[in-house]
Amino acid sequence: MHAEDVDCDRSAVHVKPWRAGADAPFIQIDGITKRFGDVAAVNDVSLDIWKGEIFCLLGGSGCGKSTLLRMLAGFETPSAGTVRIDGQDMAGVPPNARPTNMMFQSYALFPHMSVENNVAYGLRREGLAKAVVADKVKDMLHLVQLDGLARRRPHQLSGGQRQRVALARSLVKKPKLLLLDEPLGALDKKLREETQFELMNIQDQLGITFIVVTHDQEEAMTLSTRIGVMDAGRIVQVGEPREIYEHPGSRFVADFIGTVNLFEGRVDVAAPDAMRVMTDVGPILVDPVQGLSARQEVAVAVRPEKMRLTRKQVDAANSLPATVQDYAYMGDITIYKLVLEGGRTLKVSVANGDGDGAPITWDEHVFVSFPTRAGVVLTA
């Protein structure tokens, strides 16, 4: 992104309206529930999403994220709750009359139509003039870099090209809200990474609000303005990617996003400058947290990259002796699996810098240290 873009950009990515709470939210989901028989696939979910956001619904399979998306598109009728898009209540509005479009996980390209007819299908339903349709299709195919493939059939395209046709088809009607169901799920890793940035770029140009369903946390981290983590039909945490990663609200979120070392324990002393938590590996010092009582059960979460690994003991708030059980060299970093006294294991990642000295290896006795701010105290 160029510097001047940032300057004049007023999109949600930069304004962050959810922080200020100034404008009214563009999409208001209020207490929405979907029951299939006795099972609540989506259970009392409320969400506010602002114009221009890329909002990711992140969760494992069966967590209800796809059902929530299908309720927004109108394919499922909520058992309770309301959805408002741009102030308009969506209850009883069929999918073909909603200001939303969807990009399907399977792409759902019409196999008997050419690329251009696939893209034009939605515009023709609006009864636009032929020339207008042709122009819009041409522009859209250009935007997704598919010029020259207009007359191909879907089965003559590569996976990445099909993905872009599906995107073009769902964007061409300029919906108020675009729903994307695992948009990059069918692509291989390399293509997925490239496409992520392309997707963000297109969204930025068109200013359409995206809601993306994904099970891939990296994808969610890269794409989204905010993430809603779902588990068992409920939203367990909503926040910006950094917030979710650095300040997970619960053991589930901490464990689901990235790798984490969790230490279960009780609050021992709550001092003004540091708080001590008694855990199964001994006392751990963390930054003080408001509203905790003594002896309250908590967990301390520490990310592997926030820990330091040294051969000699260093001066740090927390320092634990350990033995290297195993390690995996990943190129940019090395991940160590360590055994503490008492038998529990830890994961620590070490950046491979200029390679000063011999790297730490199997069976070495080492010290794991981390500052008070590295530990996140979790009560849920």
Partner 1 sequence: MRRSWFLWLTAGLGFLFLYAPIASLVVFSFNESKLVTVWGGFSTKWYGELLRDEQILGAAWISLKIAALSATGAVVFGTLAAYVLLRVGAFWGRPVLRGMTTAPLVMPEVITGLSLLLLFVSMERALGWPAGRGMMTIVIAHTTFALAYVAVVVQSRLVDMDDSLEEAAQDLGAGPVRVFFDITLPVIAPALVAGWLLAFTLSLDDLVVASFTSGPGASTLPMVIFSKVRLGVSPEVNALATLILAVVALGILLAGLVLRRR
Give the binding range for partner 1 (CB under 8 A) out of 120-128, 272-280, 301-309, 349-357: 120-128
Structure tokens at 14: 């930069």
Closest of 96, 95, 75, 72 to residue 85, by C-alpha? 72
Residue 73 interacting with partner 1 (CB under 8 A): yes
Torsion of CA 68, 45, 289, 269, to 10 degrees: -100
**Among the listed residues 4, 7, 126, 332, the single contact to partner 1 using CB under 8 A:** 126
CB 50 within 8 A of CB 238: no
Q: How buried is 108 (Cβ within 10 angstroms: 0-12 exposed, 13-18 middle, 19+ buried)?
A: middle
Residue 151 interacting with partner 1 (CB under 8 A): no
Q: How far is CA 39 from CA 13, 32, 228, 365, in A?
A: 36, 14, 21, 51
Q: How many Å from the N-terminal Cα to the C-terminal Cα in the chain?
A: 39
Residue 154 interacting with partner 1 (CB under 8 A): no
Give the binding range for partner 1 (CB under 8 A) out of 59-67, 88-96, 234-242, 262-270: 88-96
**Among the listed residues 136, 164, 173, 306, the single contact to partner 1 using CB under 8 A:** 173
**Among the listed residues 59, 122, 183, 239, the single contact to partner 1 using CB under 8 A:** 122
Residues 6+ apart with CB under 8 A from 3: none
| Buried/exposed code over 30-58 (b: 16+ C-beta within 10 A; e: otherwise) | eebbbeeeeebbbbebebbbbbbbbbbbb
**Among the listed residues 43, 66, 67, 100, the single contact to partner 1 using CB under 8 A:** 100
Residue 342 interacting with partner 1 (CB under 8 A): no
Give the binding range for partner 1 (CB under 8 A) out of 165-173, 216-224, 303-311, 358-366: 165-173
DSSP state of 283: E
Residue 295 interacting with partner 1 (CB under 8 A): no
Residue 106 interacting with partner 1 (CB under 8 A): yes
Q: How far is the CB of 182 from partner 1 (least distance, A)?
A: 12
Q: How far is the CB of 150 from partner 1 (least distance, A)?
A: 18
Q: How far is the CB of 249 from partner 1 (least distance, A)?
A: 34
**Among the listed residues 29, 47, 69, 102, the single contact to partner 1 using CB under 8 A:** 102
Q: Give SS3 for 358.
A: coil
Residue 111 interacting with partner 1 (CB under 8 A): yes
**Among the listed residues 51, 169, 192, 306, the single contact to partner 1 using CB under 8 A:** 169
Residue 88 interacting with partner 1 (CB under 8 A): no
Residue 108 interacting with partner 1 (CB under 8 A): yes
Residues 6+ apart with CB under 8 A from 48: 18, 25, 27, 28, 29
Residue matched to tokens 């009359």: 97
Phi, psi of 112 (to 5 degrees): -95, 10
How many chain residues touch partner 1 (CB under 8 A)?
Answer: 25
Residue 121 interacting with partner 1 (CB under 8 A): yes
Rounded CA gap, 230 and 46, in Å?
A: 12
Residue 75 interacting with partner 1 (CB under 8 A): yes
Q: How far is the CB of 142 from partner 1 (least distance, A)?
A: 20
Residue 36 interacting with partner 1 (CB under 8 A): no
Q: 104 vs 367, which CB is nearer to partner 1? A: 104
Give the binding range for partner 1 (CB under 8 A) out of 28-36, 73-81, 317-325, 370-378: 73-81
Phi, psi of 241 (to 5 degrees): -50, -45
Residue 112 interacting with partner 1 (CB under 8 A): yes
Q: Give SS3 for 167.
A: helix
Q: 19 vs 112, which CB is nearer to partner 1? A: 112
- Ramachandran region of residue 226, left (φ > 0), alpha (ψ -120 to 50) or beta? beta
Residue 92 interacting with partner 1 (CB under 8 A): no
Residue matched to tokens 């946390």: 217
Q: Which residues bind partner 1 (CB under 8 A)?
A: 73-75, 94-98, 100-102, 104-106, 108, 110-112, 121-122, 125-126, 169-170, 173
